[in-house]
Amino acid sequence: RDLGVLDTAQAVHRLTGQPAKLFGIEGRGLLKPGYAADLMVFDPATVARGPKRRAHDLPAGAARLTTTAVGLHGTWINGARVADQTGFCADPKSRPGEVLRSFAA
């Protein structure tokens, strides 16, 4: 955004549609009828990384650097809202997605 190399639509497609096609993940990566309702609503003018902070949530209290996102308003997976501006809002036991370990491509 700051460099003007891609417009918002191109950037979103490179992060969604292109990887889904490359890895053969059918029914995802585009907003169209019959596809999974995976959405992230953001403000293109303000979306950014927040300040870095150190979290001590790894085994044995080990630290890691993390940031919170700025300008995000919500995330939906398979049509279910899983996050809002404050963080995760879905029950971890009933999260609607799944980890993909292999792809068709």
Which tens digit of pLDDT belongs to each residue from 13-32?
999 999 999 999 999 999 99
H helical segments located in 30-96? none
Q: Is residue 80 part of a domain?
A: yes
**Three-class secondary structure of residue 100 per DSSP:** coil
Residue 90, both tokens: 């879905």
Given this model, what pLDDT does residue 105 score?
Answer: 53
Given this model, what pLDDT does residue 63 score?
Answer: 95
Q: Is residue 77 part of a domain?
A: yes
Give mean pLDDT, residues 54-80.
92
Residue 15, both tokens: 């992060």
Q: Is residue 100 part of a domain?
A: no
53 burial class (0-12, 13-18, 19+ CB within 10 angstroms)?
Answer: exposed
pTM of the model: 0.73
Range of the domain at 48: 37-93
Mean pLDDT of the chain: 89
**Three-class secondary structure of residue 64 per DSSP:** strand
* 28 lies in the same domain as 49: no
pLDDT score of 45 more than 70: yes
pLDDT score of 89 more than 90: no
